[in-house]
Structure 1
Amino acid sequence: MAMAKELKFAGSGVGEPWWIIGHITRRLLEPLGYQVEVLSESGSTNNPRYVGGGKADFGATVPQTLGWAVRGEHLFQGETFVPLRSVGRVRRPSWLTAAARWELGFTSLKEIGESDYPIRLVTHNLRSIASVVPNEVLKYYHLTKEEIEAKGGTVREIGGNDYRSTDFDVIIGNLYMGRSMVTRHWSAATELMNLRFLDLDDELLAKLTADGHGTPGEVPFHFLRGVDRWVKALDRISDLLIYLPESTDEQFVYDLTKLYDTNRGTFFGQAVQMAWEPSSVTMGDPLPLHAGAERYYREVGLL
């Protein structure tokens, strides 16, 4: 069955990586007569619900979220979705890192966790998918919301801060390569405040690596104001999956896959740098390839 000409792409907040992939998809399909609406309310765990529940025709998200969805785990317990298939993978350089106000004098997260200082922490929404790994860091350093509040401190979500008034003490969060809405909290904080970037402990990095959250890495020297050395961080260079229902028209998926593969530079030339990664197409977990995508990859010798 031929595809409808008006399609919906499940992205995330405007300017975030999933939304940018949707924007790229819209631009690539427009010359073929398609109109693609990129949805912004389908971020976090809503993404598989939109694609797998008929609210969107295709989308992009992280493999971990899709794995939970198709297996009915974590926030998806008891939910079922239509069979989903992968189109391809996009790589996105990012790190999980931490910084503190220079004036406080702290030189490590361990020192902060062991102190009685009532810190004002900003991090990702503790109930969102973005906080899965930051929460592990907070537990390791005894900086959970409960432990901080017991000392008179506060925990707030990244994004609503007036950095000119130095209204926080510590920031722990994901840092992306590039400058966009999704990275604005880091760029604004480092430009308006004096921050000391803090290394993550080797033991913690080894644990996070063993749990499949990334690998030991470093925030690049001088990437931001205050990064005055190579800072030990969790390297989260991770794949984003572009995916859709198994029932999607095979020829449409073939054509879409070809558009992505023959326009690879489009992914890199964005505010958040990404790269189309055809060499990873054989990685089927958590979704196998759609038949249309598989046909294209075989024709060009990638399978």
Structure 2
Amino acid sequence: MRIRRSIHFIVLLLALSLISAYGQREESKPAASAMIAARKPVFAGACKACPWGILAKVTSDALSFYGYQTTICWVCWSSFGPREMGDKTKPVIPPGALDNPEYVEPPPDAVPDISATSESNLIDAWNGTGPYLTDGKQRRNYRVIAVIRTSTYMLAAASRKSGITNLRQIKDRQEPTWVVGNNQIIFDHYGIKVEDLKAKGGGIMPANATREKRASGDVFIGTGLLANTPEQRSWYEASQLNDLVFLEFEEPLIARLAQVPGYQRATVPLALFRGVTRPIPTVIRPNHFIYVRDEAPDSFAYDVAKALDEHRDLFQVQLEPWYYDPQTVALSRVIPMHPGAMKYYRERGYVK
């Protein structure tokens, strides 16, 4: 009898300890957004024609079929969105945002609940590297809902009149060399230093330069696609207003770029831009994330995943080509997927 009472007492203690631990976990879990609870989430997007702004609009339209009214921040671009999401701060107007009033609106006075950015950008924010290095911290509260793909190639070109046929020529070039764009890995590989460019009367083309000035650059480096958006228009303009010679990257550099999280090998297709007269080996940044914080309710993440899947047609009518692929929509190698989204993908058979 005493043994039986002792067993009952031990079981009772275990049950009480489990209840206490569960209660502590519930207390420590961040409170879910009141905007999500009201089915009025705030999306940290980008300008209305920019990639992450487009993903914001697609998500908003898809969620509207399920009773959500989404407010979009049209100025939460670049490193602003991941910071505002991770730190739970209200959006601010970035410098120069009002220079293109047709693309933006004043940001909402609310902390964003959901956002979109490239895989490489969010990994930098997750690890506290790249543009987030000076923040002195990692942001590990992101959870991915969907991986959406597009075709953004790494490109390099030079104006024909510059006589540059290889990026290695820039380092020893005595004439002033103006470079539109920047990529530190490429600069390091070819020994290009901004200080040396300035010393010879050149440098990095200012972002606020006029269209004609941007197009008159000597060298163009960076990711691009055929779109007249603020972040992509330099390729659109230069390929029309300048006579460009598109350059090839050296194989060791391509291998190095392909190791950067979020990038993979690809080939620039013939005639992507005026001046692309042949297929060119390079890398591509295909993956972009629609993501939330870890506090987002499973039901909300499930609804977003379901809405995007059932309204894939919305991706097909945008400024740039977007691809919803069931084989890759839940494939995030660094940042965890949200369990609510994974529940939907398992039900659909997209993941096992």
Question: How high is the TM-score relative to the length of structure 1?
Answer: 0.86
d(CA) in 2 for partners of 1:36, 1:246:
19
State the 1:239 CA deviation.
Answer: 0.9
Q: Which has the larger radius of gyration?
A: 2
Which residue in the other structure is 2:335 paired with?
287
State the 1:263 CA deviation.
Answer: 1.9
Q: Given residue 315 of structure 2, which amino acid in structure 1 is its aligned partner?
A: F
Q: Given residue 53 of structure 1, which amino acid in structure 2 is its aligned partner?
A: D
Contact preservation (8 Å) 1:178, 1:273: no
Which residue in the other structure is 2:171 paired with?
113
State the 1:22 CA deviation.
Answer: 0.2
Contact preservation (8 Å) 2:244, 2:275: yes
Contact preservation (8 Å) 1:254, 1:296: yes
3-state SS in 2 of match to 1:287: coil
Q: How does 1:196-211 map to 2 (within 5 A)?
A: 196-211=245-260
Q: How does 1:40-59 map to 2 (within 5 A)?
A: 40-54=74-88, 55-59=111-115
Higher relative contact order (CA 8 A, sep 6+): 1
d(CA) in 2 for partners of 1:45, 1:164:
26
Could you tell me which runs of 5 or more consecutive residues in structure 1 were left unpaired when the two chains were aligned: 125-133
3-state SS in 1 of match to 2:176: coil
**Cα gap change, 1:220/1:243 in structure 2, threshold over 3 Å: closer, same or farther?**
same
Q: How does 1:124-273 map to 2 (within 5 A)?
A: 124=182, 134-158=183-207, 160-163=209-212, 167-176=216-225, 180-212=229-261, 214-232=263-281, 234-273=282-321
Question: How high is the TM-score relative to the length of structure 2?
Answer: 0.75
d(CA) in 1 for partners of 2:224, 2:242:
17
Q: Given residue 16 of structure 1, which amino acid in structure 2 is its aligned partner?
A: C
More strand per residue = 1
d(CA) in 2 for partners of 1:70, 1:269:
31
CA RMSD of aligned residues (A): 2.5
State the 1:78 CA deviation.
Answer: 3.7
Could you tell me which runs of 5 or more consecutive residues in structure 2 were left unpaired when the two chains were aligned: 1-31, 89-110
**Cα gap change, 1:90/1:157 in structure 2, threshold over 3 Å: closer, same or farther?**
farther
* Bigger mean CA offset, 147-156 vs 212-221: 212-221
State the 1:84 CA deviation.
Answer: 2.6
4+ long deviations beyond 4 Å: 177-181
State the 1:89 CA deviation.
Answer: 0.2
State the 1:10 CA deviation.
Answer: 1.1
3-state SS in 2 of match to 1:295: helix
Percent identity between the aligned chains? 28
How many residues are matched? 293
d(CA) in 2 for partners of 1:165, 1:17:
21
Contact preservation (8 Å) 2:150, 2:322: yes
